[in-house]
Structure 1
Amino acid sequence: MNRRRVGLSLLLCLTIAQAGGAGAEGHDGAQAAADVSTTYPPELQRRLSAALGAKGPHYRPRTEHLLPDGRPRYINRLILEDSPYLIQHAHNPVDWYAWGPEAFERARRENKPVFLSIGYSTCHWCHVMERESFEDGAIAELLNTHFVAIKVDREVRPDIDQVYMTAVQLLTGSGGWPMSSILTPQGETIVAGTYFPPDDFSSLLQRANALWQAQPDQMRARAAEIARAVAAALAVEAQAAELGDRIVDRAVASLLEQHDELQGGFGDAPKFPQQPRLALLLDQALRRDDQAALTAAVFTLQSMARGGIQDQVGGGFHRYAIDNDWLVPHFEKMLYDQAQLVRLYLAGWRLTGDPELARVARHTLDFVLRDLTSPAGGFYSATDAESEGEEGLFFLWTPDELRSVLSPEDAELAIALYGVTESGNFEGRNILHLPSAPESFAAARGVSPAELWLRIDAINERLYRHREGRPHPHRDEKILTAWNGMMITALAEAADALNEPRYLSAAERAAELLWSEQRPAPGRINRVYLDGRTAQPGLLEDYAFLGQAMIALYDATGEQRWLTRAREMADALWERFADHGEGGLFMGEAAEDTPLMTRPKDVTDGVMPSATSAALQLLAQLTRRTDALEYERHASALLASTSGRVAQVPSAFPALLTALNLMRHGDTGHLQYAARGAVRADARISARNSSGENDVANLVVDLTLRPGWHVNAHRPLQDELIGTTLRMSEESGGWRMAAPAYPTPEILRLGFQSEPLAVYQGHVRIAATLAANPQQRADPGEDPSVWLPFELRLQACSDAICLAPETLVLQVPLPSR
């Protein structure tokens, strides 16, 4: 994304009278900043030296300012932090502070404005501004003399980022990183922008200092006005509105209008995957058999998979594409993208049976387990866009490189398949992509798609090994609880969908790491884990996404400990973040010692679900899996607090609406819960045999009931009782089901029932034979469906109460022939 000069014109228009150069420093690129660390108190100097020494002999300071022996010339407080992004700036000549009370106390004491810089460790333009400005001695001198400089990692503190990014967007109409803001000592924005070239940045600092010295009251008044606007923009609409199925239909219709039918995605470049939008479309396709939603979502998934946004050699997805057809990516790889996209490709595969989608999910997970997994089992945050100072260099190829690595036959195939040319498609080199659909390419070569991919897998393995010898992009090795929770969920779902136990093992290992290292006390979770240290109190999204991960592991294993942990996270998030006055949930806990223009709430979905949507999803899941009524009350209250805004622009809240579907209509898929979690139903087609036109399969539905609970038998002894029945839904996809075989019931006598009862309890299995109807197939050689719907009707009772009858619609994947 281009970073243009923003904010400077705003600062100029704040000038009432020409302030001249009062208090400004001249800019001389050759001027060197003083090593401010030599002016630190002795105890701080000792701490900085000890922190540097603890980095070990392999530590490479990220700076151009080195002493002859390789040690850094400068060292500032950021060396003490647990953020790779902050540590990257620990050797700038700038006297950086981390966000906290110390910096603002100094600003107030010395009556200096604050310069706030927000970014993240794999941000290309953050690196550019660091090299051009924060490593420059004269600019550092300006900052150190006239400002208190604060550096924030937006991935560690998205709550701070949200507040100040809102100010940037209000002032300039756009946003991005690095974010550059000048604040009052009370933390209110005076002027803000994103990336500034060094000359413009130097001018901005000089003018801001001059205006602060000449017109402080006007600057403070303007900042207070901006702070009120930010608070109003982030306020959640308190007026409730009715949200039902129609609001979901409106959102889906709006997303389909925005969908690019030629190249996939939504809107024009730059194109982000927009995972929450795709998730809502796929949820709608499954729940409502919405073919338009399915077609749009799958087309986008296929378009991304075949573009340069997917790393064709190593697997995984880059952050976004700068063009309309997904060819040229911004080469960062983010963990949260991989986690969401895996789930989307699995969902698309389950709905269509397209093996290309399952292949993409596997390759993405293989990338994460190979390249983003720590020795302890947690998942790293991201990899950088650049290596050797050039964006994308690690991922690019020339025809000669391919020929030097591969045999002549394999090189010819790779060059043709991946659209490689002598002139290249990116700065004289090639981003590998699939200009033709794999099926079409295979047909033109006279081979099956499966044969093609076997050969390409071998080619990619050789290319990957060769690429490993190149200098790698920087990897951000902090382990974020929220993003790890998302990855654990994806792995647990993939283990079930793809029958891959290693994915489940990886999910459980990561979950145990977070629970043992990131949980300093019951009901409390931390956000960051780096180099064996835990840091930073968790935010709402950390509790919500980790809770969802525990639900996914509970669903995958049936082990009660995971459900217990999910409940702990849900209970804690409501206790720590609920706004009992205005409703809704705050992003972070209240901090009295550090100024912030407002305490933000994260409601609108972006490239990942908002923290509010994630919390609503967790509460809705627990409503179905436990008998604790407070989860439903909390979910309803949270939905009511946001419903006014959702009703206005429903397409801006796709993840929240997906959670709404879960609240109103229950889970989807082959595993579902009834009787507030007392009954677990798992349906699977366990075997399939095909011979000519005969195609039969075996269905089993396993019920697991908690101790003390039962369901009525298929044929109850009393006419007024609802029996347990299994039937095929009308939309049978060309299959029919023979009469199910029900187990022999148990006969019970309960205290409140004088007559004996025929019931099922404990573990129960219902089995049935399925047969395909060849007359309903357009082509007898093709599958009429890739999943089949079944209705399970039951009534659950305990020793004390009978619940209302329930009907679960189980959507069961059909194995390939």
Structure 2
Amino acid sequence: MNRLANETSPYLQQHADNPVDWWPWSDEAFAEARRRDVPVLLSVGYASCHWCHVMARESFADGDTAAVMNEGFVNIKVDREERPDVDAVYMEAVQAATGQGGWPMTVFLTPSAEPFYFGTYFPPAPRHGMPGFRQVLDGVRAAWDERRDEVGEVASKVVEQLSARELRVAGDGGGPPAEAELHAALMGLTREFDAVRGGFGGAPKFPPAMALEFLLRHQARTGSEGALEMVRATCEAMARGGIYDQLGGGFARYSVDAEWVVPHFEKMLYDNALLARVYAHLWRATGSGLARRVALQTADFLVRELRTEEGGFASALDADSDRVDGTHAEGAYYVWTPEELRAVLGEEDAALAAAYFGVTEEGTFEEGASVLQLPDGEVLADAMRISSVRERLLAARAGRPRPGRDDKVVAAWNGLAIAALAEIGAYFERPDLIEAATAAADLLVRVHMDPAGRLVRTSRDGAAGPSQGVLEDYADVAEGFLALTAVTGESSWLELAGLQLDTVLRHFSGGDGSVEGGSFYDTADDAEALIRRPQDPTDSATPSGWTAAAAALLSYAAYTGSERHREAAERGLGIVTALGPKAPRFIGWGLAAAEAALDGPREVAVVGPDGDQATDELHRAALTSTAPGAVVVRGEPGDEGVPLLADRPLVDGSPAAYVCRRFVCAAPVTDVKQLEEQLRG
């Protein structure tokens, strides 16, 4: 066992028995590189990464390769999900140098942590134009020994260029987009929309959750049928495709093709939290039965497959798993052959299942296997019979070797899951989902948060991990707490959200409680200093910390009337004004927040006795409104725990709803239809 045996990260522990003398990211590792006068080999990945596993089997588990690594380098292994700041800084260098990025990421550093040679996956021997990993090791070590000055010059230039980039993304702080910029963003998405297969762009095709949230809000505010149609078509295509688990619910990371047929099979907490919420919001806008089904199935997947014993949510399920014959392959848990269907269902039902789920003799994946999907043209069959087929296949699949689970709890992704589960539970009268959201929030407070409100990013088995929270942790946890405020009416969640957002203003911006130039940083001002302080306003697989912070600040200001938080949100959205018309696919969360800012957002206070049917109906109508980014709270008469509830009496003894913007309210209403009309206006 090497030094990784004592780490909490499941990914690092996967490498604990490598013959490589791995170090975790630490000052001690770089001190060792200085002592030995050797370069650092930095390898970054994550537990459910397919190609990370491949490189580990091919190279890191090989004794001869490990001997070369140990003799010539100090080898550092990093879990990108535990240290997104380290990953972000060096991935930016990789992308700048090579034009592409990915994991595993392989970067060679000086003992001062300055990068000078870059790559991702390297095969063990030369292949498809890529050098073999041993060739790379030998070449880098030769350069270090024989051309040290040249290596130093390259490293210094890379750091200089990265530092210059920081100035170019500082944001103008000029305020959120106006109508013209939002329309330009809509037109940009329209141009990139795949009208035949849904989604945006070509293969590989990723679920565009953040862009879809923008389109739903834009349609709600402007009535744009084109915006809604892009959401409908994309959500239906994904729900019918192989990217969606037709038996157990939940979405895979992405589709390797443009038709959503063959996924990259890993299932991530963040994808499923974001997409469950998108489908719930599509149902809210249209009443779609498909959207309702997928939202609930995905929420149930989260609770069934990813919930930990402590009440949080695990990060991911692996793409790979063992076959029954003991071999290991991507997608083995999920794919089916006609023969396997017959073994479980018998001839007649197997024929129905093959037609219904698109299982063919040729297969749609590898070695004659098919990914289950719902092809165009529904197969006519009795609903009870299809339900029985699905249940039997799911039970049979449960007997297969299961994919590994990365069971660390990431604060940011749990915040996203809390928001999704709280809303879906409220929309569809599933109190068990609200309870699951509350339990996860309790875990974050109990394990991840110190008395001052500072967060650690990860935990495992109820124990806090070693890494400080980054901006997305504070922003997304606040988002989850604000969703619980809306659903439960408990003011403590609003107070905790405010604690997170005050930390954002104090430590992730200008340092004086304001947003200097409209910009946020991804790491705190008192965090470990890297070769540069990472700062990225664009969405990737999750909302950027920058725009997530702006969105949460905007909602918090709507609950409290705080101009300080409102101003910080608006200045933070200045970057969306600059980037939204140019790159709308990559700043969708910011565009969605801008829609809320342009609409108000609407503030809804529902006042009435707890447990009263009329109060419940008003509260539900407020929650299911499509007003962009509307904030909702309910409380008893005289309840002033949330400022939005202050001085909101009953109306003629009846429960009432107050609809406001910037705390300026319309006449209170006691009728659900009147409330719905005010929220449409």
User: Do these two structures clear the TM 0.5 threshold for a shared fold by scoring above it?
Assistant: yes
The aligned counterpart of 1:577 is 508
User: Do the aligned partners of 1:315 and 1:363 also contact (CA within 8 Å) in 2?
Assistant: yes
**Residue 290 and residue 760 in structure 1: after superposition, are their counterparts in 2 closer, same or farther (change >3 A)?**
closer
Measured at CA, do residues 325 and 745 of structure 1 come closer, stay the same or move farther in structure 2, by a change above 3 Å? closer
CA offset digits 1:160-191 (Å, max 9, x no partner):
11111111111111111100001111111101
Q: Could you tell me how far apart the structure 1 residues matched to 2:112 and 2:284 are?
A: 53
1:205 aligns to 2:137 (yes or no): yes
Higher helix share: 2
1:644 positional shift: 4.1
Q: Is the 8 A contact 1:702 1:766 kept in 2?
A: no
Residue 539 of structure 1 deviates from its aligned partner by 1.1
What is the CA–CA distance in structure 1 between the aligned matches of 2:87 and 2:271, rounded to whole Å?
19
Residue 148 of structure 1, CA deviation: 0.9
More strand as a share of residues: 1
Residue by residue over 1:212-270, the C-alpha shift from the partner in whole angstroms, topping out at 9 and shown as x without a partner, is: 11111111111111112222334423444562122111111101110100001111100
Give 1:116-515 correspondences, 5 Å limit.
116-199=42-125, 200-235=132-167, 236-241=169-174, 243-388=177-322, 389-427=328-366, 428-437=368-377, 440-442=378-380, 445=381, 452=383, 454-515=384-445
* Among 531, 548, 554, the residue aligned to 2:485: 554
Is 1:743 aligned to 2:674, yes or no? no
Check 1:191–1:768 CA distance in 2 against 1; reply closer, same or farther (3 A cut): closer
Q: Which protein is bigger by CA-based radius of gyration?
A: 1
CA–CA distance in structure 2, aligned partners of residues 628 and 381 of structure 1: 34
Higher RCO (CA-CA < 8 Å; seq separation 6+): 2
| TM-aligned CA deviation for residue 789 of structure 1 | 4.4
The residue type paired with residue 520 of structure 2 is L
1:596 is the counterpart of 2:536: no
Identify the residue that residue 18 of structure 2 maps to in structure 1: 92
Task: Please give the secondary structure, in 2, of the residue aligned with 1:441.
Answer: coil
Aligned partners of 2:188 and 2:583 also within 8 Å: no
How many residue pairs get aligned? The number is 631
Query: Partner amino acid for 2:143?
Result: L
Letter in 2 for 1:441: V
Shift in CA distance, 306/642, structure 1 to aligned 2, threshold 3 Å: closer
The code of the aligned residue for 1:587 comes to D
What displacement does 1:284 show? 0.9
TM-align CA RMSD = 2.8
Percentage identity across paired residues of the two chains: 40
Letter in 1 for 2:280: L
For the residue of structure 2 that corresponds to 1:118, the secondary structure is strand
d(CA) in 2 for partners of 1:211 and 1:544? 43
Which range is displaced more, 427-436 or 403-412?
A: 403-412
Q: For residues 72 and 291 of structure 2, what CA distance do their matches in structure 1 show?
A: 55
Shift of 1:572: 1.5
- TM-superposed CA distance for 1:338, in Å, is 0.5
Q: Structure 1's 264 and 644: CA in aligned 2 closer, same or farther, altered over 3 A?
A: closer
Measured in 2, the distance between the counterparts of 1:680 and 1:503 equals 18
Q: Could you state the TM-score of these two structures normalised by the residue count of structure 2?
A: 0.87
* 1:107 paired residue number: 33
* Alpha-carbon spacing, 1:358–1:210, altered in 2? closer, same or farther (3 Å): same
Note if contact 1:624-1:674 (Cα within 8 Å) is conserved in structure 2: no
The 1:330–1:579 alpha-carbon spacing in structure 2 relative to 1, beyond 3 Å, is same
Tell me whether 263-272 or 138-147 shows the greater mean CA deviation: 138-147
Contact 1:274 1:608 in 2 (8 A): no
Q: What do residues 685-706 of structure 1 show as CA deviations (whole Å, max 9, x unaligned)?
A: 69xxxxxxxxxxxxxx988665
Aligned to 2:540, which of 603, 606, 619?
606
Q: Take 2:360 and 2:639, find their aligned partners in 1: how far apart are those partners?
A: 66
User: 1:653 corresponds to which residue?
Assistant: 587
Q: Which amino acid aligns with 1:228?
A: E
Distance in 2, Cα, partners of 1:155 & 1:350 = 32
Q: Deviations over 1:660-685 (max 9, x none)?
A: 222232346xx73599xxx9994556
Match of 1:587 among 500, 514, 522: 522
Cα pair 2:557 2:563 within 8 Å, conserved: yes
How much does 1:418 deviate? 0.5
Per the alignment, in what secondary structure is the counterpart of residue 381 of structure 1? Answer: strand
In structure 1, the residue corresponding to 2:458 is in which secondary structure? strand
Secondary structure of 1:394's match? coil
Question: In the TM superposition, what is the alpha-carbon distance from 1:496 to its structure 2 partner?
Answer: 1.3
* Offset, 1:278: 1.2
Which residue is 1:79 aligned to? Answer: 5
Task: Quote the offset at 1:583 in angstroms.
Answer: 5.0
Q: Deviations over 1:457-488 (max 9, x none)?
A: 33222111111111111110111111111001
Unaligned runs of 5+ in 2: 126-131, 323-327, 608-614, 623-632, 641-645, 656-664
Which amino acid is 2:519 matched to? G
- Cα gap change, 1:441 to 1:672, in 2 (>3 Å): farther
Question: Does the Cα contact within 8 Å between 1:680 and 1:703 map onto a contact in 2?
Answer: no
CA 419–623 in structure 1, closer or farther in 2 if over 3 Å, else same: same
Question: 2 CA distance for matches of 1:606 and 1:574?
Answer: 23
SS at match of 2:670: strand
Task: List per-residue Cα deviations over 1:702-748 (Å, max 9, x = no partner).
Answer: 886655744699xxxxxxxxxxxxxxxxxxxxxxxxxxxx63699xx
Alpha-carbon shift at residue 82 of structure 1 (Å): 1.1
Aligned residue type for 1:307: G
Deviation at 1:419, TM superposition (A): 1.2
CA contact (8 A) 1:123 1:385 kept: yes
Shift of 1:633: 2.5
SS at match of 1:570: helix
Q: Distance in 1 between matches of 2:605 and 2:32?
A: 56
Q: Deviations over 1:278-311 (max 9, x none)?
A: 1111111112111001001110000000010011
C-alpha spacing 1:768/1:169, structure 2 compared with 1 (3 Å): closer
Q: What is the Cα deviation at residue 109 of structure 1?
A: 2.4
Q: Contact (CA 8 Å) 2:358, 2:374: kept in 1 or not?
A: yes
- Kept in 1, the 8 Å contact 2:654–2:670? The answer is no
Aligned residue runs from structure 1 range 712-751, under 5 A: 743=652
